Structure 1
Amino acid sequence: MTEASEPELPRGIALAWGVAANPQRGPKREMSVERIVEAAVEIADAEGLGAVSMAAVAAKLGFTPMSLYRYVTAKDDLILLMQEEATGLPSDEVLAGGDWRERLMALYREQVARYMRHPWVLEIAITGSPVTPNSAAWMDASLAALADTPLSHADRLAVLLLVTGAARWTGIVLAGYQRAEREGAMSGDEITVLEDGLFRTLITGDAYPHLREAIDAGVFLDEADPFAFGLERSLDGVAAYIQSVAEGRVVERSPFPVSGDAGIAADKKYREAQKAVRNAEKALRDARKLERQAAREARDRLARQRPEA
């Protein structure tokens, strides 16, 4: 296994972390990456993500499109920075306390609220986890909520994805209703009554007996939150799993599809093999660190011994 080299940061990520080189000169002192992102977010909030372009942002700021490229060299980078701005940081209230479940539910509700304020974020294609400061802060907050549980780091990450996935799906649906309210000049309650009426008109008991039974029971008029209910029941499962781990009834997950005594033995061997690999990788890293240190010392000695011209 070769030692991983430090990757070169893409321009957008470097800007998000504040480590990108600033332009040598700009058209006016008022121009900055922050101003550009702020203007782009305002456009997206008012008109949607599709309205955002370098030309539109430049016009809003009173500059030419070419002047923006001194600061943000590509629209994809601008979209990344807009997403980072809209994501923001978890509030102090969310981070304040409670048990792991209360903290995860609070994070879920706050993420949904962010989507409602900036629904265009949901239109940005998912191409991987955004490696940006604010996104990292949300991930860290979720992992911190689970830090005192006996879950492995991999399990904690899986629970994190469960919560963020639920928040995103809830945001997608609620943002759709929010848009329908805005475009149709109808309240949420009016939309609900209209949908219930359509279902009652179109869905018959002969063709869709179970759906019709649910309609007659008033499920589409029920004021309970089905999204929170789904997440709560998922967290019931997580709680049961945590209890199983705490009682030693769950062994570390391995890729071997076996059970019983054979499964326990395979898991034990797998864990031992994983530990041996980690120890070997650490020894290799330490050896390479010593090698680099020795090489630097040798270069320094040669430099000191070299006669000056």
Structure 2
Amino acid sequence: MAGLLKTPSLHLTPTLLHAPSVPFKPFCVSFAGGRNTSVSLSRRASLRSVSSGYPLRLLNLVPFASGEAETTETEETDGAVDVENENAGAEEVEAEEEEAAVVTALLNSYKEALAENNEGKIAEIEASLKSIEDEKNLLADKVASLSNELSVERDRLIRISADFDNFRKRTERERLNLVSNAQGEVVENLLAVLDNFERAKSQIKVETEGEEKVTNSYQSIYKQFVEILGSLGVIHVETVGKQFDPMLHEAIMREDSSEYEEGIVLEEYRKGFLLGERLLRPSMVKVSAGPGPEKPREAEVEETTAQGSSEEAASSS
């Protein structure tokens, strides 16, 4: 390959590279994992040491954001954020151009060394390019490692957010249960007062106008008391005509009934109350045991005959 590069056609290439009329077109090389200006400066220093005998004519790498940095000092404070963003972008572009210029200069020097068959210079440039490639791979590995760490931290953040949401819901449920329990304890202590109102209403017989006024007064208090309990969510347990429910009713008596089927509540002796879904106290009720045993036909005939005889005696008298 070195012999082929000694041909006259290839000896013309270095002269063209130094010609000022030929535009300089640097190609862009990106490195995964970010940009490092310190690496670019070190590569530029190594390039100067390698190509000291062959000076290269490179473009003037003047940071085009320097003018902007000077003008931003006179801008108003409300545009400070935009100026910082522009400066950051300018520094990023500057670092990219420096890296591209260093790599381009190395490649040009490498072409010249190949054309002149300078093995020492070729080895030095190849070592520089190899170090750049190694650094690129190192940065790529670092980016992959940081990406994995970011993924792990993102999953951890999602789990923490879900745990916090569950904790918030559990705390809210516990708070509601605590409020409900406190209300239930207070209402349970007031149910005895409600029973006294009910008992007085059923037992007192009003005879005079004064007694009626007194009765109406405490009945208005009773009505207001019931309305307050209703506003707290206290409701009466339904009983008469409903199916007996051991979770809501307390059976204190069973009775045969030809009107209701077995298991139907016949009568209520004490009211039961619910606070939301919590049972404050069950209702005391009498439950139907179903129809009683059938009477023998002869007993029915005798009973009918006796009733007829009594009716005839009453009519004759």
TM-score (norm 1): 0.21
Q: Counting helix residues as a fraction of each chain, which structure ranks higher?
A: 1
Q: Counting strand residues as a fraction of each chain, which structure ranks higher?
A: 2
TM-score (norm 2): 0.21
Q: Rg: which structure is higher?
A: 2
